[in-house]
Structure 1
Amino acid sequence: MELLDGLQQSALIELETLLDDGSLFALRPYFEFLADTAGSQFAAKIGAGITHLYMEALGYGWRANAICLSSSIDPHADFIYDGGNATGHGVVLAEAHGSFAKSVTAGTITSAAKRKYKKQVKPYITATSPFGEVIHGYSIAFGSKPTAAGSFLSVSETRISKPRSKSGGAPLTRPDAGQPGGTPAPIALATHRSNFMLMGVPEVVDWIDWLRVPHRAMPERDPIPFLRLQYAGGYYLTSAPWFWSRGVPSRWIEGFFDHPHWWRIAPREHIPALRPRDASLGWFAIEEKGGAEFLNGLSAAIRSGERRAPPSFALPTFDPVGFGFAESDSATLRARDKDDRAYDYARFRDGLALLGDPFRGSPRDIVFWSPENGLPFG
């Protein structure tokens, strides 16, 4: 967890230092002081982020690392996705590329997208992966000149023989919707393993690993506390400070929740994702229904005693919020507080959210997930 905390902190500092805050993508002048390797690494991170946003826009809500495609050093795409138009048919690949150089043009970015598709995506179309057959692929290249505002984006993808729908992408799903037949367990477990790690709940990660990895020792069966937080018109689950579940009298907790400035009296070192004493880092959480459905499905698999994941999990998906998509713009405008201020947060299709101003939320209570009996919900 210390490693993850450090990476989160460094990522935020890096972004705030090197990216200009404006309506157009632009690098700040500090970028020119980076060594070539550091600049290339930063461009690669931005390219990966842009790729994920593009895949979210197409309706792909479940993700995994594509390293499973090859055990050798042969180049392969970066990510595997499920959902969207691939639902029920297989999975798709996504290769990410980022480039920040004075020589960047629309043409060089287009060439990079095509080149990387041919080398790192096309050879794996129809390949078998632990998450299903690869039926489609994308190579997404993003670039910008360090000395000018604006950017270039190019996408190369598998040729489709029949006409695509007029929308050009997968239809948006609603909060009460999920994949027909459920989300395949392998990719649901991979996605939520990353999510709960980001949320600061390694105990759930341990149980996921126990279910996925043969001969792994069984984790402790102690109930895991979650803070239930009301935020932006909805409810979210996030990790709870340890002292709330270690013999603190319930009347103290109730009084804590009723306090108008609850976050000011909480020991900052025990608030997850805020250990650096910088509220702008945000707070990772998961939409309550999405989190509860997954945790209860995980408990059912643990309770069966067979140490085997089910074929699928019945999980909801959500409209993305906070990324500039048309749907997210309207959702953000609807989610305002009593002072008519829009909330500053981002939410992905799987329910994972980054609450940019978590202290505006209202903590409601602590709920406990039992590895065998699940999480009380509804």
Structure 2
Amino acid sequence: MLWTMDKTVALTGERRHRHKGGAVAPLFIAPELAPQIQFGPTALAAAIARTATLRHAPPELLAHLAASALSEAQVLLADGPGFALSSLIGALGDTEQTHFASRMGAGITDLYMNALDYSWRDNAACLSGKLDPHADFLYSGGSALGHGVVLAEARGSFAATVSDAKMAREAERKYLRQVRPYIGATSPHGQVIHGYSIAFGSRPGTSDAVLRLSQTRRPQPKPNKSVPSVPSSPSFDQVPTTMALATHRSNFILMDALPVADWIDWVQGTRDIPEDHAPVSFLQFNYAGRSFLASADALMPYRMPHLWFDELHDYPFWRHRWEPRWASGVPSLHSFVMEEKAATAFLGALTAMIRFGPRERPVMLELPTNDIAGFASGSAEIGIRSAREDYDYALFRDGLALLAGPPSRRLTGIRTWHPKEGLT
């Protein structure tokens, strides 16, 4: 049975660690920590899939990992207001339970980092080509704009020995070993200026969870030093191009627009130029007061350009794919989509890079950011599910969204991306 009720996980404590040496990026002010995060199954499933696809591997493999991450997040948690594991967790072997806990820890970390206004992400493996232990993810955006990037380590545990004290020790241990050594280091996206270690745990058979955090201690800003304003308008970020490419590679893989990921790999210099120069089609539709784009290839088994939207909704494949429902009434399938402004801005920038070639890649890209939707931080949005009424989706700051069900029947158009001509 699928769980449907929103979960609230409170931050049970934090510890700040002094950095050895001088202060890194002294004008950077770390955001105030969120006292709790609230999320439903759609937001958690999306966050787990986002982190599972954030690595340098073939797009086809990552698409498979995303599908398995979605299903795990749906069925391995129990319903109800508290955080509790499903009884099905006991049917998994020790290795599988450990793997699921790790995925869950990564998903909770991604939700929490978005709650702190960080928008852009990459795997932290780029920090070291050796076997030296390092944290999991790098983030940019929010208060880090114009300063550098922040490092985040994710830890998840579903052991019978989980306690607040143990997770506090785990967050501290991971910080000291895998985060603090890299504060001040240089990454492909800029200097690492701050770090977090987030440890999440829950004991099987209980209905609560522990969330502990360690982070870099920073000196208090001096009153006579002003913090530089964020460049561009409040709704746009000046993003390191390398970070934007890593983020949207994951996003378009999740959307099943794999040719876009192939072109991103070429722009990054990790593969030969794609042989397939065919355009990629996106379906345009409105949902929850926003305009989104969905990959046509994700919704149809093959291209059917002769069908208009009303015909598409009545097409046998469409009914076969979307009409089944679980007994609980929750859609059995989800679809990743992207907010149209975010997709348009990035695909336009990607086309420009394809035209000029990888050697002429700009250092920064100006890309829009969104407010989060479908999950909340703090205590201002208790009851987010009832407030959304008929809408069940999760929207992240980079524009990626996961819909719990098919796109709206009221599709408004088709947009086509040509690698060298742009989005039309």
TM-score of the two chains, using structure 2 as the length reference: 0.76
1:122-179 CA-partner distances (Å, limit 9, x unpaired): 01111111111101000000011102100001000001111599xxxxx999997112
After TM superposition, give the deviation of residue 334 of structure 1 in Å.
7.1
Aligned residue in 1 for 2:279: 223
1:20-52 CA distance string (max 9 Å, x none)? 122111012232333222211111111000111
Where structure 1 has 5 or more consecutive residues not aligned to the other structure, the ranges are 166-170, 336-340
CA RMSD of aligned residues (A): 3.2
1:149 corresponds to? 207
Q: CA deviation at 1:8?
A: 3.5
Q: Which residue of 1 aligns with 2:411?
A: 363
Query: Which residue does the alignment assign to 2:172?
Result: 114
Aligned-partner SS, 1:27 = coil
Structure-2 change in CA distance of 1:287 and 1:248 (3 Å): closer
Alignment correspondent of 2:394: 346
- Say whether the 8 Å CA contact 1:196–1:202 is kept in structure 2: yes
- Residue matched to 1:210: 266
Query: 5 Å matches for 1:278-357?
Result: 279-305=331-357, 307-325=359-377, 341-357=389-405
CA contact (8 A) 1:322 1:328 kept: no
1:215–1:36 distance in 2 versus 1, CA, 3 Å: closer
Does structure 2 conserve the Cα–Cα contact (< 8 Å) formed by 1:65 and 1:80? yes
The Cα of 1:291 is off from its aligned counterpart by: 0.4
CA distance in 1, matches of 2:97, 2:239: 38
Q: Could you say if the C-alpha distance between residues 245 and 142 of structure 1 is closer, same or farther in structure 2, counting changes exceeding 3 Å? A: closer
Q: CA deviation at 1:300?
A: 1.4
Whole-angstrom distance in 1 between the partners of 2:148 and 2:301: 43
Amino acid at match of 1:344: D
- Aligned to 1:310, what secondary structure does the other structure show? coil
Q: How has the CA–CA distance of structure 1 residues 270 and 347 changed in structure 2, closer, same or farther, with 3 Å as cutoff?
A: same
The DSSP-based 3-state class of the residue aligned with 1:135 is strand
Check 1:214–1:17 CA distance in 2 against 1; reply closer, same or farther (3 A cut): closer
Distance 1:89 1:229 in 2: 37
Is 2:167 aligned against 1:99? no
- Please state if 1:22 is matched with 2:22: no
Deviations along 1:63-115, whole A, 9 cap, x unmatched? Answer: 00001111121110000000121111100100000111121111001010001
* Distance in 2 (alpha carbons) for counterparts of 1:40 and 1:214: 32
Find the partner of 1:10 among 64, 68, 71: 68
Question: Could you tell me the TM-score, scaled by structure 1's length?
Answer: 0.84
Measured after TM superposition, the shift of residue 195 of structure 1 is: 0.3
- The answer to whether the Cα contact below 8 Å between 1:174 and 1:317 also exists between their aligned partners in 2 is no
- Structure 1 counterpart SS, 2:376: coil
Q: Does 1:265 align with 2:315?
A: yes
Q: CA deviation at 1:314?
A: 1.2
Larger RCO of the pair (alpha carbons < 8 Å, separation 6+): 2
* Contact 1:290–1:317 (8 Å) recurs in 2: yes
Kept in 2: contact 1:236–1:288 (CA 8 A): yes
Letter of the 1:67 counterpart: A
Q: Structure 2 unaligned segments of length 5 or more: list them.
A: 1-58, 224-228
Query: For structure 1, which segment, 213-222 or 349-358, has the greater mean C-alpha deviation from structure 2 after superposition?
Result: 213-222
In structure 1, C-alpha distance between the alignment counterparts of 2:336 and 2:220, rounded to whole Å: 40
Does structure 2 retain, via aligned residues, the 8 Å contact 1:91–1:134?
Answer: yes
Q: Which among 177, 183, 190 is matched to residue 239 of structure 2? A: 183
CA distance in 1, matches of 2:208, 2:190: 38
| Aligned 8 A contact 1:97 1:140 in 2 | yes
Corresponding residue for 2:196? 138
Closer, same or farther: CA 306–284 of 1 in aligned 2, 3 Å: closer
Seen in structure 2, the aligned counterparts of structure 1 residues 373 and 329 have a Cα distance that, compared at 3 Å, is farther
Name the CA shift for 1:198/1:133 in 2 (closer, same or farther; >3 Å). Answer: same
**Equivalent in the alignment of 2:148:** 90
CA–CA distance in structure 1, aligned partners of residues 76 and 380 of structure 2: 29
- CA displacement at 1:219 relative to structure 2: 4.2
Q: How many residues align?
A: 355
Change (3 A) 1:221 1:360: closer
Q: Distance in 1 between matches of 2:380 and 2:417?
A: 32
User: Is the contact made by 1:91 and 1:132 (CA closer than 8 Å) also made in structure 2?
Assistant: yes
Alpha-carbon distance change, 158 to 289 in structure 1, aligned in 2, over 3 angstroms: same
Deviates more, 1:300-309 or 1:137-146: 300-309
- CA drift of 1:54 comes to 0.8
The corresponding residue for 1:35 is: 93
Identity across the alignment (%) = 46
